[in-house]
Chains A and B, each alone.
Chain A
Amino acid sequence: MAEPELLLDSNIRLWVVLPIVFITFLVGVIRHYVSILLQSDKKLTLEQVSDSQVLIRSRILRENGKYIPKQSFLMRKFYFNNQDDGFFKKTKRKVVPPSPMTDPSMLTDMMKGNVTNVLPMILIGGWINWTFSGFVTTKVPFPLTLRFKPMLQQGIELLSLDASWVSSASWYFLNVFGLRSMYSLILGQDNGADQSRIMQDQMSGAAMAMPADTNKAFKAEWEALELTDHQWALENVEEDLMSKDLDLSGQ
């Protein structure tokens, strides 16, 4: 059954829709700067730096090994992958997954993350719900089922109203996620106002331990290096070179 189109007061657009957009955007920018102020220094240990560089070297060996002579390539491959004392076989880093309870720095990081991101969202969402309540704000362009009514129509007590008509609180949440791309335009990539990225980080959570990663990374590199073969790129370099005269012009 086609519902007659509801005509909303244009004041709603002026005084509700636009202010919510501005509020959300400004809060996001403020969050970004606050997160920069509260950022703690991440001190890398010597071991972590060294390991990351070793992994890079091994990867380069795999990719560009064809530019060095076969003997040298085999020598390096042997150094890394040898059964008994190759680097990847021999080095086992201590795996200490930093659980939030035991590792104080992780705890404070998590707390700071929560304070700067989740708390404002809840506070402002509640405030908007309280201020801009009692009327319909906007209509989502796709039809929704009745189950969404209590969630999206907070404060509107109309049983027969189509679930597509939503209140200001839902418009606020829509903005929070929608303005992400605006933030990357204005604040540059990797900004502190990016809400959904924070939530993703929290989900992958405390188990993003570097130590565990290192051992797995070593194993993965070992396998990849085992599979690489040496195809010398310089096999026919003289023939290639002498097929035509040298280009001696140019700057």
Chain B
Amino acid sequence: MASISELYDVTWEEMRDKLRKWREENYRNSEQIVDVGEELISEHASKLGDDIWIIYEQVMIAALDCSRDDLAWSCLQELKRQFPDSHRVKRLVGMRLEALERYEDANKLYDSVLQDDPTNTAARKRKISILRAQGRNTDAIRELNEYLEQFVGDQEAWHELSELYINEHDYAKAAFCLEELMMTNPHNHLYCEQYAEVKYTQGGMENMELARKYFAQALKLNNRNMRALFGLYMSASHIAANTKVSAKVKKDNVKYAAWAASQINRAYQLAGRGKKENKCSMKAVEEMLESMHITMS
């Protein structure tokens, strides 16, 4: 089996830089990390210097994702030898126990870390992920709420909580979490769009209006967000189709929906230009928009 460096013709520096890029941008491409990292560790360990420890950590987590327990174990041994009393390494030990489904042992380990250092966020978050892995969603929600009471600024945690609430169909609370995220990241179009979707799902005239506004905001932040464009079309049509709205509101929303539909058409046209099937796909888009048109039943 050819090694990565032969297959792709890259040097070890390039492999190391690729790993760093994946680490900094939080990619979860575990199989690739395992392949590249394993080769880097086995062949070029001496050249990496002090970088090797953080690469061990990265490869170990990726190995757990791919069920490569042998690789994870060897990385862990190296790290334990170098950093015998480190909380960070203890977290990795706990993660391996979680991967083996030994949740009790993992929990005991995290509790000991927390006794030593009550401000350690990593251990608390792992405990919550254990609850989630066991399917105990309500317990996870409760623990996560307590965690967030102490550490209000943790955005990852807010996002996780919003996902949990959506799973439990508690849309009002999910909206609250997403509002926190929108405040801390006002230029992130994805949070606006998720918030709008939650509001749309909640239903009701006020929420529909809010949904439409936030879909528009998401589009303003990123003109190419197709989901937001469709969302705008749907929410505007929904409001327009409601018999209880005033004439002005109805007219405005019909205008918005028409504009959204024209933009959708434009988008598909631009995407399909130069291809033979463009005419057919344009017709398909027309029909799709027609079928999505909301009528009050």
Contact = CB atoms under 8 A, between A and B. Distances in A.
A44 B119 contact: yes
Nearest to A64: B183
B219 A241 contact: yes
Interface stretch (A8-16, A54-62, A136-144, A175-183): A54-62
Given A46-B119, A68-B182, A245 B263 contact: yes
A64 B151 contact: no
Interface string B206-222: 00001011101101100
Interface in A5-64: 44-46, 49-50, 53-54, 56-57, 60-61, 64
B179 interface: yes
B184 A248 contact: no
A237 B176 contact: no
Interface residues of B, number: 32
A45 B119 contact: yes
B206 to A, nearest CB: 9
Nearest to A246: B223
Contact of A248 (B153, B214, B223): B223
A64 B119 contact: no
Contact of A46 (B118, B176, B180, B259): B118
A69 B210 contact: yes
B223 A53 contact: no
A64 B266 CA distance: 34
B183 A246 contact: no
A127 B179 CA distance: 64
Nearest to A58: B152
A250 B271 CA distance: 12
Contact of A234 (B152, B213, B229, B259): B213
A72 interface: yes
A103 interface: no
B2 interface: no
A234 B214 contact: yes
A240 B220 contact: yes
B183 A50 contact: no
Interface in A167-226: none
Contacts of A69: 179, 210
Interface centre among A56, A65, A68, A240 (most CB of B within 10 A): A68
Given A50-B150, A69-B210, A237 B216 contact: yes
Contact of B263 (A53, A237, A246): A246
A68 B186 CA distance: 9
Contacts of B266: 245-246, 248
Given A72-B179, A250-B224, A64 B256 contact: no
A122 interface: no
Contacts of A50: 149-152
B270 interface: yes
Contact of A237 (B154, B186, B220, B224): B220
B267 interface: yes
A245 B256 CA distance: 13
Nearest to A68: B179
A84 interface: no
A245 B267 CA distance: 11
A241 B216 contact: yes
Nearest to A56: B153
Interface in A125-157: none
Interface string B177-220: 00110111010000000000000000000000010111011011
Contact of B151 (A45, A49, A60, A246): A49
A68 B224 contact: no
A242 B259 contact: yes
A244 to B, nearest CB: 10
B186 A67 contact: yes
A69 B183 CA distance: 11
A3 interface: no
B220 A241 contact: yes
Given A53-B152, A248-B270, A64 B184 contact: yes
A67 B188 CA distance: 11
A68 B199 CA distance: 12
Given A53-B153, A237-B220, 7 more contacts: A46-B150, A49-B151, A64-B186, A67-B182, A234-B216, A245-B266, A246-B263
Name the 10 nearest CB pairs between A and B, nearest first: A53-B153, A64-B183, A247-B223, A246-B223, A68-B179, A237-B216, A57-B152, A50-B150, A53-B152, A234-B213
Interface of B: 118-119, 149-154, 176, 179-180, 182-184, 186, 210, 212-214, 216-217, 219-220, 223-224, 229, 256, 259, 263, 266-267, 270
Interface of A: 44-46, 49-50, 53-54, 56-57, 60-61, 64-65, 67-69, 72, 234, 237-238, 240-242, 245-250
